[in-house]
Amino acid sequence: MRRRTVFIGLAAIVGILTWSSVLACGDKFLVVSRGTRYQRPKNARAANVLIYANPASAMPATLKSLPVESVLKHEGHRSTRVETPEQLTAILAGGRFDVVLASSGDAPAVEKLLGASPEAPVMLSFCPKEKALAKDAACDLSSPPKEQSLLEAIDKAVEWHDRNARKAQTSA
């Protein structure tokens, strides 16, 4: 009986002494009782984004108000910036992009360059707030955009681009 009591006492002392070191190690964020939140959905993928910043449009001012390129890089997207129509034409002919960002004034010309191909990039246009409030405006994002709304719009555009590409592959 005495041995059993000594053994239980020693086990209790060892348990108490090691319990504090168990709690001291590791990341406390992943404790069972706490949940984890992720900012992007699991199925989101990195996109190739082309930014057309025509100096004659409001796009350069939009890019100054929100560092779009650094926001995209932080989320894992790759971005390329062009400023002239010649650069835009050359890079669209040579590169593969998922999304093109441009101002609403330049959108018709850019859409004409993109064409109607199912593999063509999805166009997202920025509008000044006054124009975005108008009901007849065809704007995807108000300018200056909020970081979260920009990333959500790009994720939706990538989904749309991938859906169109799958449809084109199945029909071919």
pTM value?
0.66
Task: Give dist(CA 147, CA 145) in Å, integer.
Answer: 6
Task: Assess if residue 141 is contained within a domain.
Answer: yes
Query: pLDDT, tens digit, for every residue of 87-120?
Result: 888 888 887 888 888 888 888 888 888 877 777 8
Domain tally for the chain?
A: 1
Q: Calculate mean pLDDT across residues 136-153.
A: 72
Q: Calculate mean pLDDT across residues 4-12.
A: 88
Q: Residue 114 sits in which domain range? A: 48-171
| Residue 52 DSSP code | E
Q: In which band, very low, low, confident or very high, does the pLDDT at 132 lie, cut at 50, 70 and 90?
A: very low
Task: Assess if residue 157 is contained within a domain.
Answer: yes
Task: Give dist(CA 134, CA 63) in Å, integer.
Answer: 22
Task: Assess if residue 23 is contained within a domain.
Answer: no
Distance set, CA 12 to CA 1, 2, 4, 15, 149 (Å): 17, 15, 12, 5, 55
Query: pLDDT, tens digit, for every residue of 40-88?
Result: 555 567 788 888 888 877 777 777 777 888 888 888 888 888 988 888 8
Q: Is the pLDDT of residue 133 over 50?
A: no
Task: Assess if residue 84 is contained within a domain.
Answer: yes
Q: Calculate mean pLDDT across residues 129-155.
A: 68
Task: Give dist(CA 105, CA 59) in Å, integer.
Answer: 10
Task: Assess if residue 22 is contained within a domain.
Answer: no
Say how far residue 66 (Cα) sits from the centre of its chain.
Answer: 14
Tokens representing 153 are: 């719009």
Task: Assess if residue 32 is contained within a domain.
Answer: no
Q: Is the pLDDT of residue 131 over 70?
A: no
Say how far residue 143 (Cα) sits from the centre of its chain.
Answer: 18
Q: Is the pLDDT of residue 24 over 70?
A: no
Q: Tell me, what CATH number does 135's domain have?
A: 3.40.50.2300
Task: Assess if residue 18 is contained within a domain.
Answer: no
**52 phi, psi to nearest 5 deg:** -100, 105
Q: Is the pLDDT of residue 28 over 60?
A: no
Task: Give dist(CA 139, CA 131) in Å, integer.
Answer: 8
Task: Assess if residue 148 is contained within a domain.
Answer: yes
